[in-house]
Amino acid sequence: MLNKFLAHIQSEIAQLSYGEKPKELYEPISYLMKLGGKRLRPALTLMAYNLFKEDWETATKPALAIEVFHNFTLMHDDIMDEAPLRRGKATVHEKWNRDVAILSGDVMLVAAYELLSEVPDARFKQVLKRFNRTAAEVCEGQQYDMNFATRNNVTEAEYIEMIRLKTSVLLGFALELGGMAANQDVVVTNQLFEIGENLGIGFQLKDDMLDVYGDPEKFGKQVGGDIIENKKTWLMLKAIEKSKGKPEEKELKEWIDKKVFNSEKKVAAVTDIYNRLGIHELAEAEMNIYFKKGFDGIDGFPVAEERKTMLREFGKYLLKRDR
């Protein structure tokens, strides 16, 4: 069934039209949307709708709105990060130019609003309000992420709040939206949001771990990329905290401060520090807290057991994934 959802989403994305002319404005949107990705977010919307109703195709447009919005954030984030590649292909600002990436991104956000309007009329204002809040929070998360790059006193709590905003509120909203499209009341849609929010924080912590401990064959990105960039992930922040007063404190600081280094050596050395400090296990435990909250939310969710199977399986896939 999940595969059916994903196939449906793929085929709908292949057919989506955002506009015709000028082509510099609209081609980058199709280009980025067709680069692929896991399509987790629209799948969550369809799954949430399907918790209540059989005609899940009805939620297609809102589900696509979430995916278009997500890709809009990628187009603009890639400019800010000066990223040359996205899913192994040239980013929009590289393939076209910066101005095209700014403006196409803007139109993409408008396109997300347009797709979002295909929900029952009576719920539309509520959907919009919640989407507006979510969209603003995603931007807040991105700004915090950028601010953290130049700060040396980021706390664990600040980091969790940053990934909550940048990543997990959108997963939460993806589920909530499916519930709203299926005309569920606010108590139920809030529960859906919380399930997605918790799974989302777990999902991002998993991502941080895969960056260090992932199998290079499967992960797709350069393993250790966060370490090379001194990115303040949960693992790095925890290592800084746990190394205090130990030999690893100086060692870690030296690697962080090094301007010229061999990337492979830095990744190996910092990973070794993480291992000596038991960071992987601590991160696993932290991740499990959020996944457990998510699964508890699914357990207590007020629909028949058999309807919840897919969402639970999907949560397990997010927990176990190796790419």
Chain residues that interact with a second copy, rule: CB under 8 A: 19, 21-22, 24-25, 76, 79-80, 98-100, 102-103, 105-107, 109-111, 113-114, 117, 121, 124-125, 128-129, 132, 135-136, 139-140, 142-144, 146-147
- Closer residue to a second copy (CB): 55 or 121: 121
**Of 39 and 130, CB closest to a second copy:** 130
35/79 with CB nearer a second copy: 79
Q: How far is the CB of 59 from a second copy (least distance, A)?
A: 17
Beta bridge partners of residue 141, listed in sequence order: none
Give the integer Cα–Cα distance in Å for 238 and 287. Answer: 13
Nearer to a second copy, 139 or 310 (CB): 139
What is the nearest approach in angstroms of a second copy to the Cβ of residue 99? Answer: 4
Task: State the minimum distance, in angstroms, from the CB of residue 137 to a second copy.
Answer: 9
Whichever of 3 and 153 has its CB closer to a second copy, that residue is 153
Name the β-bridge partners of 86.
89
Q: Using CA atoms, how far apart are residues 180 and 43, in angstroms rounded to an integer?
A: 15
DSSP string, 178-204: HHHHTT--HHHHHHHHHHHHHHHHHHH
Region of 17 please: left (phi>0), alpha (psi -120 to 50) or beta.
beta
CB of 91 closer than 8 Å to CB of 85: yes
**Which candidate, 280, 273, 281, places its Cα nearest to that of 213?**
280
For a second copy, the closer of residues 21 and 320 by Cβ is 21
Q: Determine the Cα–Cα distance for residues 118 and 62; give it in Å rounded to an integer.
A: 6
Q: Identify whether the C-beta of residue 116 lies closer than 8 Å to the C-beta of residue 131.
A: yes
Complex with a second copy: residue 6 or 83, whichever CB lies closer: 83
As a whole number of angstroms, the distance between CA 91 and CA 104 comes to: 12
CA quadruple 119, 121, 125, 126: dihedral sign? negative
Find the shortest distance in angstroms from Cβ 41 to a second copy: 18
Q: How far is the CB of 189 from a second copy (least distance, A)?
A: 18
Strands of the chain, DSSP E: 85-86, 89-90
Report the nearest approach of a second copy to the CB of residue 170 (Å). 13
Collapsing DSSP to helix, strand or coil, 140 comes out as helix
Instruction: State in angstroms the smallest separation of the CB of 196 from a second copy.
Output: 20
